[in-house]
Amino acid sequence: MRRREFITLLSGVAVGWPLAARAERPPFVVGMIGNSPYWPHFREAMRDLGYREGQNVKYELRTDEIEPARLAEAAKELASIPVDVIVANGSPSSQAAQAATRTIPIVMVSVGDPVRAGLIASLAHPGGNVTGPSALGPDLAPKRLQLLQQVIPSLVRVALLFNPNNVSNIITRDEIETATRDLGMNLVRVEVSTVSDLDTKLSGTLSQRPDALMLPVDSFLDLQIRKIIDFLESNRIPGMFADREYVLAGGLMSYGASISDSFRRGATYVHKILHGTKPSDLPVEQPTKFEFVINLTSAKAVGLTIPASILSLADDLIE
């Protein structure tokens, strides 16, 4: 064999071997933890990035865990499989995943304040094995309250339905407590962490005669949204939510960043991590777009006339 032919053959092997090895690599295993109706948005974004379930990616989904102890077990199970990356919805799931592993990358989605939740060191330099898009939830709570007051000038008593097991919800509660006090309002705290408590706690708010109810982002409460909105409709109580999906489901108003977009952005983090980027090198993104959405049909149902000045501020009006 001539030297030139040998070099050509050797070059072909050198180029072809990594490609063949890559093709034979088992599918990436992506763990997903936390209740959410938004997971389809994450899977769709993964498909857009070239991932095909059963071909180059496998999903391990754990979604029925509500209590902290069950979340912890689910996180440990995912870590022991092991998975290549864990995508965690909300603060409780993200904290459970972080407690289960300090080595497997974790992409958090829909977390209001990851620094105060103890998940990362800072937005620019998250450190450790956790990163992802932030929902910037708690800081928006006072703005939601102000919008409610503009729609309901007589607003005095506000109910806040929240999950005490969600640290982001606790931060939101503290923000709302300060804002209601500054505005001379009264806050009705409604703590719900289990399905069995929901009906009882919602009914209990009626004796407090709230003028409106606010709901922060929480993976458990997300799945109960139909029951919550039905309660508000039947008792003619206006509701302020964090995402337009709640308004499309019949809620009165929402103001905040898109939760479905947070799940889609989470897929880009997963993609970068699966291709070798360390979580600590991926800054935590904050949303830059916030939507104010009003359901005019719901407004009529609870007996509200939305001022024209407020309608002009809305990004979308649902009829």
How does DSSP assign 1-55, residue by residue? --HHHHHHHHHHHHHHHHHHHHHHSPPEEEEEES--TTHHHHHHHHHHTT--BTT
Confidence of residue 18 (pLDDT cuts 50, 70, 90): very low
Neighbours of 2 (CB within 10 A): 7
- Res 65: pLDDT: 58
Confidence of residue 135 (pLDDT cuts 50, 70, 90): confident
- Res 67: pLDDT: 72
Confidence of residue 99 (pLDDT cuts 50, 70, 90): very high
Confidence of residue 304 (pLDDT cuts 50, 70, 90): very high
Residue with structure tokens 């958090």?
108
Confidence of residue 35 (pLDDT cuts 50, 70, 90): confident
| Separation between Cα atoms, residue 252 and residue 264, nearest integer Å | 25
| Separation between Cα atoms, residue 80 and residue 65, nearest integer Å | 17
Q: Which H helix or E strand runs over 94?
A: helix 90-100
Domains and CATH numbers, the chain: 3-136+260-281 (3.40.50.2300), 138-256+291-318 (3.40.50.2300)
Summarize pLDDT for 201-228 with one digit per residue, the tens.
Answer: 999 999 999 999 999 988 888 889 999 9
- Res 263: pLDDT: 96
Q: Prior bond to 287 cis, omega within 30?
A: no
SS3 85: strand
| The two three-digit tokens of residue 149, written as one number | 């007051």
What are the DSSP E strand ranges found in the chain?
28-33, 57-62, 85-89, 106-109, 130-131, 157-162, 186-191, 212-214, 239-241, 253-256, 291-295, 316-318
- Res 213: pLDDT: 97
Q: Is the pLDDT of residue 5 over 70?
A: no
Q: Is the pLDDT of residue 106 over 70?
A: yes
Q: Is the pLDDT of residue 23 over 50?
A: no
Q: Is the pLDDT of residue 108 over 50?
A: yes
- Res 6: pLDDT: 36
User: Which amino acid is it at 24?
Assistant: E
| Separation between Cα atoms, residue 174 and residue 295, nearest integer Å | 28
Q: Which residues of 200-219 are buried (b: 16+ CB within 10 A; e: fewer)?
A: ebbeebeeeebbbbbbbbbb
Q: Is the pLDDT of residue 285 over 50?
A: yes
Q: Is the pLDDT of residue 16 over 90?
A: no
User: What are the backbone dihedrals phi and psi of residue 85, each rounded to the nearest 5 degrees, phi first?
Assistant: -155, 150
Lowest mean pLDDT among 67-76, 123-132, 234-243, 261-270: 67-76
- Res 138: pLDDT: 61
| Separation between Cα atoms, residue 141 and residue 99, nearest integer Å | 28
